Amino acid sequence: MLRSKLPAVGTTIFSRMSQMAAQEQALNLSQGFPDFDPPAALLDAMARAVNNGGNQYAPMPGLPYLREQIAGQLLLHRGVNADSDTEITVVPGATEGIFCAIMAAVGTGDEVIVFDPCYDSYEPAIQLAGARAVHVPLSAATFSVDWERLEAAVTPRTRMLIINSPHNPTGSILTSADMVQLEALVERHGLLVVSDEVYEHLVFDGRQHHSVLQYPGLRRRSVAVFSFGKTYAVTGWKTGYCVAPPALTAELRKIHQFVCFVAVTPVQQALADFMAEEPGYPTTLAAFYQAKRDLFCNALKPSSFSITASAGTYFQLLDYSAVTRGIDVEVAESWTRDNKIASIPVSVFYQQPPDATYLRLCFAKRDELLLEAADRLCKI
Ligand SMILES: Cc1ncc(COP(=O)(O)O)c(C=O)c1O
């Protein structure tokens, strides 16, 4: 009767681990969301938006006022000019933006290169578009791009490449030298790029985020995808935006208007008001999350785990190989059950998992919870 279009897909690891954390009453450092409140002024703006009648459909590409604020922020933080009418589309979450970008640009027989470990929403979208995901592993030690391997993976069927910096789950980031290499490669082969930049403001130790929008050869060929959920600690509001040249934007919007049609109106109004009131807010995030990363990593110093401080995102990898040689999925489950700490095993983000021993922990949590989590981990 029914032939599954995604036979290999089950419930995501994030839902599974969060559910297990709840069952086991474990500290949930698995799924990536803050356990603290968003800025109070943003919550006030949301209440105002709802009470002032912002409760009906917004225009399909997003409220013009919000798109103007986004354009202002792109100029302020990245020195990038984007036309709010023809290049910026507000979407109900980065996930939907990524899905629409893939659907709009690839089809049957195309190949799309993704890097492993790879965020889990890319491949199902590629499959539903009729295309094939080609997995290129990041280097094992530093999770950086292996350019020779990438070049070797490009075929005449390659149509698109999906990048993600800062990178979930490893916390690695692409440098400006990487972006220059990437720009040359996509121009040489005529590829499109989907650039998942949802953690753009979460980069640490004085590093810079490099957006595809800042490199002319990439700007011409890319859809850059952002998430307000990550920047403003409102993951449950599921709102983001895509920035792409007009022709790509037009195609993306054709898909978006029949997937969701439009993002939620009062959320858009609230975000626009807050961005107008506090345009500098995103620049506070790096120091805020870096302090959390440092608190967590310092508290883990007495443990036997090997930890390289995350360069970006709100995730920290922990290498448990000095403690156990177990398979990461089993280690994550047993820690949730026995030690009451839920994490995400990194092998699930690979097509062919390497012999690695990493768990991903989210440090977007209150300091007390991070210290309690570290204390429990030190006892393992
Ligand atoms: C790398 C990456 N891309 C996209 C998303 C999805 O963002 P949104 O909640 O805005 O759909 C996430 C959320 O965890 C993510 O980590």
Share of the chain above pLDDT 90, in %: 95
Residue 4: is its pLDDT beyond 90? yes
Residue 10: is its pLDDT beyond 90? no
Residue 335: is its pLDDT beyond 90? yes
Residue 11: is its pLDDT beyond 90? no
What is the structure's pLDDT at 356?
84
What is the average pLDDT score of the chain? 97
For ligand 1, atom 1, name the residue with the nearest CA: 168
Share of the chain above pLDDT 70, in %: 100
**Residue 109, class by beta-carbon neighbours within 10 Å (0-12 exposed, 13-18 middle, 19+ buried)?**
exposed
For ligand 1, atom 13, name the residue with the nearest CA: 32
For 343-373, write each residue's pLDDT tens digit: 999 999 999 998 889 999 999 999 999 999 9
Atom of ligand 1 nearest to the CA of 230: 10
Reference 285, options 200, 350, 344, 353; nearest CA is: 200
Reference 339, options 35, 34, 29; nearest CA is: 29
Q: Which residue has the tokens 């983001």?
A: 240
Distance (angstroms) between ligand 1 centre and the Cα of 318 equals 21
**Residue 22, class by beta-carbon neighbours within 10 Å (0-12 exposed, 13-18 middle, 19+ buried)?**
exposed
What is the structure's pLDDT at 134?
98
Atom of ligand 1 nearest to the CA of 227: 10
Residue 141: is its pLDDT beyond 90? no
> Which residues have CB under 6 Å of ligand 1?
32, 93-95, 119, 164, 168, 196, 198, 227, 229, 235, 238, 240
For ligand 1, atom 16, name the residue with the nearest CA: 168
Under the banding of pLDDT at 50, 70 and 90, the label for residue 292 is very high
What is the structure's pLDDT at 326?
92
For 195-237, write each residue's pLDDT tens digit: 999 999 999 999 999 999 999 999 999 999 999 999 999 999 9
What is the structure's pLDDT at 12?
84
Average pLDDT estimate for 9-21: 88
For 79-103, write each residue's pLDDT tens digit: 999 999 999 999 999 999 999 999 9
**Residue 369, class by beta-carbon neighbours within 10 Å (0-12 exposed, 13-18 middle, 19+ buried)?**
middle
Residue 277: is its pLDDT beyond 90? yes
Helix (H) or strand (E) holding 137, with range, is strand 132-137
End-to-end CA distance of the chain: 49
Give yes or no for a contact between 225 and 92, defined as CB atoms under 8 angstroms apart.
Answer: no
Per DSSP, 167 falls in state: P
Q: Report the C-alpha gap between 339 and 334 in whole angstroms.
A: 7
Residue 28: is its pLDDT beyond 90? yes
Average pLDDT estimate for 289-314: 97
Residue type, 149: R
What is the structure's pLDDT at 64?
98
Average pLDDT estimate for 133-148: 95
Alpha helices in 190-284 (DSSP H): 216-219, 228-231, 246-259, 265-277
